[in-house]
Amino acid sequence: MDEQKDQHEIEMTRIADAQVAKVRLPAAPTAPTSSIADLGQHVGAEVTLRGWLYNKRGKGKLTFLIVRDGSGLAQAVAYKPDLPEEVWAATEQASDETSIIVRGLVKEDSRAVGGYELAVKDFQIVQQAADYPISAKKHSVAFLMDERHLWLRSRRQRALLRVRATVEWAIQDFLNGQGYTRVDSPIITPTAAEGSGNLFTVDYFGAPAYLAQTGQLYIEAAMMSLGKVYSFGPTFRAEKSKTRRHLAEFWMVEPEAAYMEFDQLLELEENFVSYVVQTTLDKCEAELDALVQVAKLDEDAAQAERLEQHFAVLRNVKAPFPRLAYDEAIKVLQAAGNPAIWGDDIGGDEETILASQYDRPVFVTRYPASIKAFYMQPDPDRPELALAADLLAPEGYGEIIGGSQRIHDFDLLLQRMAEHKLPREAYEWYLDLRRYGSVPHSGFGMGLERCVAWITQAPHLRETIPFPRMMERMYP
């Protein structure tokens, strides 16, 4: 039986191999290898590009091949009379997403994608990609999400991922430059930081535990050691929400600073967001332009125009930001016909109304303490209010930052924990931070994906993270 099984497995492997084009190991290139991003340094010289065929079109004896290599797109032009028969045949055979190696002469051409063109001298197929499932036709979002591992290769998705990476870099560059130390907080926690609702429960060696919804409590402990700290990593919320603003797994940056009070916190936040936005605009010109060009290729001129106007408006995102007290925000909402009353939380619809009045983010400050987390410091002048603020992005993108001054008094924190019905024994370590050398301190959390969505005008957070996890999706 074992021998028959082995023979069967060998035969199945042989059949599978016959159905998939083999990776060919081409001969060593005869010209120096370049990235597409560096083609401008090689005008008039021959280079070798290693990448994938994004798409192609033919016109008689000419074939125009759009090549991508991760650093950009470039057009390679194959002219049949100039090429050996087998090289021309390879250009004809190659289909979308075939991995290729191209050698050619670099020419400057403002009409070509990327501004440079390659006159093909040699063209080798590494692995033929047959029947690539994502074609040039329109596909449903559900289909594209099922093919997310391949959809990432599209021009728009590559641009979004590069913007995300730049935002991540800018976040850390700003905080590092301000003397903050990165401290990684645990993902598995024994308690809830903001109440027990909307948590993912895991079995921790027979005991219940949770996927962290924030790293804040742990970062407060690290702050007592290092003064100014931040965490930056994945967080989890089990909200049963399908809106465009929600993910079950997202990334959050959470700075915390000792001896920082509320007004200083707001200054930190507006300088932080200004730096992140302006740095991204400066470093991602090509990616933001790619988003505009994709809209034009999709024959959506209105969207292309909106994007161009939006990127121009983002240049105004510089400190200081307007500040709107919660009391005043409720009045603004009521004047706009919204049914909000004092004591209500401010949701997505309300955020859109409030932020639409400004060309940059706006702070909503001093919320009722009853609707905020247990650790938020009351306003000394009005104890029913918390020294808390949400930073709302314009154009319907909503809250991108939530922050507050933290309670530093032991007895007050204990009282607030009792009001929230939190078990004291689970938080004894957190109370220790108020027993031994407590100081006024403040911090905030910013959702990375919401910030990227606002900067790029992505219609849904699912396009701002490589592999989104949502209420109805955990594949691929």
Closest C-alpha to 194, from 148, 153, 235, 139: 235
Whether the predicted pLDDT of 333 surpasses 70: yes
Which ranges in the chain are annotated with CATH 2.40.50.140?
Answer: 9-127
- CB atoms inside a 10 Å sphere around CB 356: 13
Whether the predicted pLDDT of 354 surpasses 70: yes
- Once rounded to an integer, what is the mean pLDDT over residues 4-9? 55
Q: Tell which wins on pLDDT, 152 or 297.
A: 152
- Once rounded to an integer, what is the mean pLDDT over residues 228-234? 98
Whether the predicted pLDDT of 58 surpasses 60: yes
pLDDT at 48: 98
Q: How far apart are CA 330 and CA 343, in angstroms?
A: 9
Whether the predicted pLDDT of 19 surpasses 60: no
Q: Tell which wins on pLDDT, 452 or 3.
A: 452
CB half-sphere exposure, 297, CA atoms < 13 A: 13
Residue-averaged pLDDT of the chain: 93
Which ranges in the chain are annotated with CATH 3.30.930.10?
Answer: 150-463
Q: Which CATH class, in words, describes the domain spanning 9-127?
A: mainly beta
470 within 8 A of 247, measured Cβ to Cβ: yes
CA angle 408, 410, 414 (to 5 degrees): 115
- What percentage of the chain exceeds 70 in pLDDT? 93
- Once rounded to an integer, what is the mean pLDDT over residues 381-405? 96
DSSP state of 153: T
pLDDT at 287: 97
121 within 8 A of 103, measured Cβ to Cβ: yes
Q: How far apart are CA 395 and CA 431, in angstroms?
A: 41
Q: Name the pLDDT band for 24 (thresholds 50, 70, 90).
A: low
pLDDT at 8: 54
pLDDT, one tens digit per residue, over 153-198 is 999 999 999 999 999 999 999 999 999 999 999 999 998 766 556 8
Whether the predicted pLDDT of 16 surpasses 60: no
Closest C-alpha to 231, from 256, 257, 265, 254: 254
For residue 122, give both structure tokens: 């040699």
Q: Write out the DSSP string of 258-326.
A: ET--HHHHHHHHHHHHHHHHHHHHHH-HHHHHHHHHHHHHTT-HHHHHHHHHHHHHHTT--SPPPEEEH
Q: Tell which wins on pLDDT, 1 or 82.
A: 82
274 within 8 A of 317, measured Cβ to Cβ: yes
- Once rounded to an integer, what is the mean pLDDT over residues 135-143? 91
- Once rounded to an integer, what is the mean pLDDT over residues 427-433? 97
Q: How far apart are CA 388 and CA 380, in angstroms?
A: 13
Whether the predicted pLDDT of 35 surpasses 70: yes
Domain spanning 150-463: CATH superfamily = Bira Bifunctional Protein; Domain 2 (3.30.930.10)
Whether the predicted pLDDT of 15 surpasses 50: no
- Once rounded to an integer, what is the mean pLDDT over residues 74-88? 98
Whether the predicted pLDDT of 13 surpasses 60: no
258 within 8 A of 228, measured Cβ to Cβ: yes
Three-state DSSP class for 384? coil
pLDDT, one tens digit per residue, over 144-154 is 999 999 999 99
Tokens 């100014």 belong to 228
- What percentage of the chain exceeds 90 in pLDDT? 88
Q: How far apart are CA 412 and CA 418, in angstroms?
A: 10
For residue 67, give both structure tokens: 């090549």
Closest C-alpha to 303, from 457, 139, 144, 158: 457
Tokens 């935002």 belong to 167
- Once rounded to an integer, what is the mean pLDDT over residues 319-333? 98
